[in-house]
A and B are shown apart, each in its own frame.
Chain A
């Protein structure tokens, strides 16, 4: 008998709880639906939109544009290289106004779709057609400039006189960071008559340390540990999610080793490692993608290549966050001076893989 009473009581309470759980909301009008007919579309590469790296950052740009202008968002994720032509065709038949492709892997599919559909606008991140195409806007980023600053900062903060870096794959969009980093360290050495060494990348020989992919955290951790064992106390991993392993290694050192993150502000995208991050080299893919989409909405599209630089804010050093008080004021002002000098042309970044204006 007791059991039944308890059962009934529980059912009663549950009913009350469910009933109390809010009432049906009335239909609300979404604000800013001015351009609902405008379709802003995006195709990811095989990394997918949840890669905590460039697909995700580019997608944020799409979302920002959609929010600001009240557009309709269409996105297609690719599971493999097989899916690029199919997704591109699907976007064309979905009557997209602009199609943004994320990454050089989509170059062929994008060029083909663009030439077949001159009325649709395209933008492609981190790549450019071999010959400019009327309706394709390439979005490139000169991250060598901001990595130059990062290298200078790393050298200034190193106690051991050795700093290290490693990449995911040896491709230009990765080595551009490593080039800039190495040059920044060298600039510090000439300015201060010091001899800080760069481990993991030789920009003259274009040879160095790579994990071989962008996914495997364990490989990133091994590479970082390798650098730490050789004496490096600032690590600069340029390997997407695989680089997170490098941050793990730095965190495990209990304050002896610090790191600099790439692509996004690491204190936001990987907050658990903020305590070891001097700063991050931010690559403004979200801003570039958003601007490209907005330019089509406003009928101001052109196919000249966008190059993100320190000057236009398309790439920059992220805030120092927890290191703000630990980085000496004169180092901060030197970093600002470097920025000014790079913009004015007083310092020339040498890296051969920097995107050139076409």
Chain B
């Protein structure tokens, strides 16, 4: 949940400050800032690795006698850790497929948050929408028995519907009563979590012969086909398709224009004759469906039965992914891939160098912290040109 507090202080740069002309297009500037944030995060991570490393601690004990020992121990600790992180994420087809598998639900969840961002809504509820989608998709997956293709399609549709309902309720409440979406989505997260916990104690959902809260695994026919011997599944392709769809929706369709207009200035849009309420409902229904898609990827893609931990922290990580992706579909895909790679690499890193898994969480958090505070990054890397409208999208969510 820490992600929310990091998101909050996203500053809007003072408008009157003289612009430093760079000649670079804004996407290049944003890319540079993101890249610098990653470098800074790796430096912070390096310090943590050095402080926590046993060899270094031993060497510091006799620093006066052989100072170079401390330095070389520190360098080798950092080098080994980051090397295994890189190898675990990118070193061959299997690691890459792991990274992509981990990235899949993050991309869809990130899109769910991004789309709402662009409409001026801060969707903290991806977690609940994901769970709602996972519940329905999983039920159709294990309780029905249908021929191939048809079964998978119906299970996916069920997941989309589940998420869309959970998100749509938020949009409807916002449009009709003005209930703030942050409060409503957080509360609906709890409702989803406890609904899931209760369902898993019922005969309908609990796996026969088991006494702990776990559902049956979905039928083979309802599972996403896998690529070769890996865990990577068709859901990844769907995530990319979803990203293209969101891009088309936002940038090429009339509805998308309305969504962005409402996101930029709800009052002006209303004056211009647009229905702000309709935009909120549409945005939240589509966002919910996207999160529901992430839910199907959990239960139909990675062999996971429905458990109380089925959503892991995907719904919350999705907020950070969307922040890092600046609310754009392409950015969200790239951010999702980065986080997926960090997750997959982190597992390998702890195995080889026994670096705690929490380090990757720290890396992710620090990256987002720096991205959300571009002024901070620019004060460290002086050569970076000023970013136009940086953080505007991120801060907008709170104005809705």
Contacts and interface: CB of A to CB of B under 8 A. Distances in A.
B64 A94 contact: no
A105 interface: yes
Interface string B189-230: 000001001000100000001111110010000000000000
B312 A24 contact: no
A5 interface: no
A80 B64 contact: no
Interface string A13-56: 00100111111110000000000000000000010000000000
B55 interface: no
A207 to B, nearest CB: 12
A87 B309 contact: no
Contacts of A169: 213
Interface stretch (B23-31, B322-330, B348-356): B348-356
A170 B213 CA distance: 9
A212 B197 contact: yes
Contacts of B357: 77-79
Contacts of A78: 357
Given A130-B210, A353-B211, 14 more contacts: A18-B63, A18-B64, A20-B64, A21-B62, A24-B69, A77-B357, A79-B357, A80-B313, A82-B298, A91-B351, A94-B351, A104-B214, A171-B211, A171-B212
A22 B59 CA distance: 10
Interface residues of B, number: 42
A90 B351 contact: yes
A83 interface: yes
Given A74-B351, A171-B211, A172-B211, A82 B302 contact: yes
22 contacts: A19-B65, A21-B62, A21-B63, A22-B61, A23-B62, A24-B69, A25-B62, A76-B347, A77-B356, A78-B357, A80-B309, A81-B304, A81-B307, A81-B310, A85-B231, A86-B344, A91-B351, A108-B303, A127-B212, A171-B212, A172-B212, A212-B197
A22 B210 CA distance: 58
A74 B98 CA distance: 21
Given A81-B304, A85-B302, A108-B303, A75 B354 contact: yes
Contacts of B358: 79
A87 B347 contact: yes
A1 to B, nearest CB: 29
A75 B355 CA distance: 10
Contacts of B307: 81, 105
B336 interface: no
B265 interface: no
7 smallest CB-CB distances across A and B, nearest first, come from A80-B312, A18-B64, A81-B309, A19-B64, A172-B211, A23-B65, A22-B62
Contacts of B213: 169, 171
Given A76-B351, A82-B304, A21 B211 contact: no
Most interface-central of A19, A81, A83 (chain B CB within 10 A)? A81
Nearest to A46: B309
A22 B66 CA distance: 10
Contact of B348 (A19, A90, A170): A90
Contacts of B217: 108
A172 to B, nearest CB: 5
Contacts of A18: 63-64
A75 B231 CA distance: 22
Contacts of A112: 303
B350 to A, nearest CB: 6
A83 B351 contact: no
Contacts of A170: 201
B296 interface: no
B303 A104 contact: no
B361 interface: yes
Contacts of A90: 347-348, 351
Contacts of B211: 171-172, 353
Nearest to B312: A80
Interface in A300-330: none
B68 to A, nearest CB: 11
B102 interface: yes
B105 to A, nearest CB: 8
Nearest to B317: A80
Contact of A82 (B64, B305, B312, B356): B312
Nearest to B61: A22
Interface in B356-373: 356-358, 361
Interface string A84-108: 0111001100100000000011001
Interface string B291-305: 000000010001111
Contacts of A91: 351
A80 B307 CA distance: 11
A176 B212 CA distance: 13
Nearest to B194: A212
A295 to B, nearest CB: 24
Nearest to A127: B212
Contacts of B197: 212
Contacts of A171: 211-213
A108 B304 CA distance: 9
Nearest to A15: B64
B347 A86 contact: yes
A83 B304 CA distance: 10
B306 to A, nearest CB: 10
Contacts of A105: 212, 307, 309
A77 B350 CA distance: 8
Contacts of B310: 81
Interface in B212-263: 212-214, 217, 231
B305 A108 contact: yes
A22 B62 CA distance: 5
A81 B307 CA distance: 8
A130 B197 CA distance: 22
Contacts of A83: 347
Contacts of A353: 211
Interface in B310-324: 310, 312-314
